[in-house]
Structures are given as C-alpha cells and as structure tokens.
Amino acid sequence: MTNETQPSLPALRPSADTVDSLLRVLDLEPLADNRYRGVSPHTAWGRVYGGQVLAQAMIAASRTVGEDRPAHSLHGYFLLGGDPMLPIDYEVDRVRDGGSFATRRVTAIQRGAPIFEMISSFHKLEDGFCHGSNMPQTPPPEEVATAAALFARPDAKVPDAMRAYYGRARPIDLRFVDTARYFGDWDQPPYQRFWLKTKGALPDGQALHSAILAYASDFAMIDTALIPHGKIMFDPKMQLASLDHALWVHAPFRADDWLLYVLESPAAGRGRAFARGAFYTRDGVLVASVAQEGLVRERSTAFVIK
C-alpha cells in the first residue's frame, strides 16, 4: 500500500453526462505492475458513488486476467466514503491462477488508507447445465417514461433535488416501471423494477460490460428498502451508505442493450437493510444477480462511526 498523500486532480476529472465520460472514468491509468489509478467525475455528490468504485475495481482486476476468463463473481466491502476530489489507487493481488479459475483481491486506496476491499473470481468459458428464473411480466422500455420525463411531471411528489438529479444529462438511460410512490401512494412493498442501458454504443469486451453493470447495480438497492417506510434516498433526514456488495454474472450480455433490473428488500432492522436484485435481458434471460446490505438511519438518531 502507498502512504503518500495523493494530490487532487480537478483538471483531469471528466464530466458525468455522456457514455464517453463514463468510459474515461473506467479507463484506469497504469501506475506499476498490478497497480492502477482512477478518477471520479464531476457530480453534485460529496462522496464517490459506490458503483464507480465497484466498476473501477473490476476493471483493475480484469486487466490482470486473460480475456478467456471473464469475471463471474465479486464480493466487496465499502470501508470509508471516497473523496471525489482525489484519485483512487487500485492495488491488485493475484491470489491464484488455476486451470479453470483465477482469483484476484483488489484494494482501493485514498490518502494511504483502504476505502474498499474486493475479491473477485474469473472462470474459463465452458459448457454446462443451464437454467434461470423467469423475468416478471413488465412493459417494454419503449412504453416506460424516461426518469427525466417522470420526475419532471408537476404531479410528482418528489424533492426538488431529485428532480434536478434526474433532469441532468447522464450516460445511462433509466426508466422506472413501479412509480406509484412518487405520486403519493406509499402503500407499496419493498420491490421495484427499472429498465436501463447506456445511452450510446459501447466497445466489445465482456470485462467492460460487466464493469458497467456493476456500476449500475449499486443504484437504488438501499432505496428499495425505504419503500414500505415512506422514504426515498433523496430524503435529507436519512443517512444511507452501502456496506457491502456482491455480484454474480451468469451469462454474457451487453450493457448498451436494454436490461431489466428487478429489486426487492426481504429484511431491514438494527440500522441496516438488505436488498437483492436480478438483471434480465429484454427477452427474459437472467444474466446477473446482486445482493447488498446498507446502512439506513434517520439523522436525528444517527451517530458517527470512526
């Protein structure tokens, strides 16, 4: 691990509004063998988006593994909130290279301290038994409003900060299917669906597409746990943070084609909430599964963890 103080790099920070900008965020700078550096885009958030760290860590790990072994799983822990004004260094430990599987450990570092730890596994492509759960019946993305159009509606009961967030240009097209709570009907289960894809074509390569899916997979997981409690993640009274994240990739896919993300939260309590999700192609193939636990507190009762 490095102990030097990392300089801020505001001139190198890309925007966060186009697919090209997302690709620049994921194009890590090689520093040395098994060590890479990433930067964060300009956003209104005061900390680094967790999905960005997941995606950059996946890219770092993938660069040390052959293309014939795509990532099939990752398990990560968010240790500290990242500072978006500082670069993030990713150190890769080549834990094992076997006949079929390769294992990598990645540590994300800022100010000489780890902010994220991940272990990931890569599997040589092979044939085998195949089945997958059925995708729930869902309107196609062409029949679902964009997030910007949804939250621009005058009857949407959402904070101004949420309208502004979804009104800005962004690299991923989000289309929420289950929207009743945004119009005052809070009697809903902890469940939601939305369509997503990048707003432009992506280069080939499963490593990149898996990294972008990891980037998107962190979005709205904790928010799903808030639904039955009449809260949303833009509520200033809530203190929310991802604690850990797991992702399994079951089949090849493209992140520039429509994917349906189905989320549910089976349990919450003691200041934590658990959520799990599934990604389906528009023709119903289950391509990835996700699980996450997050911190969920009301700020009036929050205390600081050091």
- The whole-number pLDDT of residue 236 equals 87
Instruction: Specify the fold of 1-127.
Output: Thiol Ester Dehydrase; Chain A (3.10.129)
- The whole-number pLDDT of residue 43 equals 67
292 included as an active-site residue? yes
Q: Which CATH superfamily is domain 140-306 in?
A: Hotdog Thioesterase (3.10.129.10)
The model's confidence at residue 306, banded by pLDDT at 50, 70 and 90, is very low
Segment 182-200 mean pLDDT? 96
The model's confidence at residue 13, banded by pLDDT at 50, 70 and 90, is low
Res. 133: pLDDT tops 80: yes
Catalytic position from the list 218, 256, 265, 289:
218
Output the pTM of the full model: 0.91
Res. 305: pLDDT tops 60: no
The Cα-based distances of 202 to 20, 52, 185, 211, 257 in angstroms read: 9, 17, 38, 12, 10
Question: Rounded to an integer, what distance in angstroms lies between the CA atom of residue 263 and that of residue 279?
Answer: 9
- Angle formed by the axes of helices 206-217 and 50-62, nearest 10°: 160
- The whole-number pLDDT of residue 3 equals 37
- The whole-number pLDDT of residue 45 equals 66
Segment 146-174 mean pLDDT? 93
Kindly state the helix (H) or strand (E) to which residue 72 belongs, with its residue range: strand 71-78
Catalytic position from the list 21, 121, 242, 289:
242
Segment 213-227 mean pLDDT? 95
Res. 179: pLDDT tops 50: yes
Res. 12: pLDDT tops 90: no
Each residue's pLDDT tens digit, 22-36? 999 999 999 999 999
Radius of gyration for the alpha carbons in the chain, expressed in angstroms and rounded: 19
Percent of the chain with pLDDT over 70: 92
Domain limits, CATH 3.10.129.10, in the chain: 1-127, 140-306
Residues paired with 88 in a beta bridge: 38
155 included as an active-site residue? no
CB burial string 207-230: b at 16+ within 10 A, e below: bbbbbbbbbbbbbbbbbbbbbbee
- The whole-number pLDDT of residue 304 equals 42
56 included as an active-site residue? no
Question: Rounded to an integer, what distance in angstroms lies between the CA atom of residue 256 and that of residue 65?
Answer: 23
Copy the structure tokens of residue 232.
Answer: 């949303």
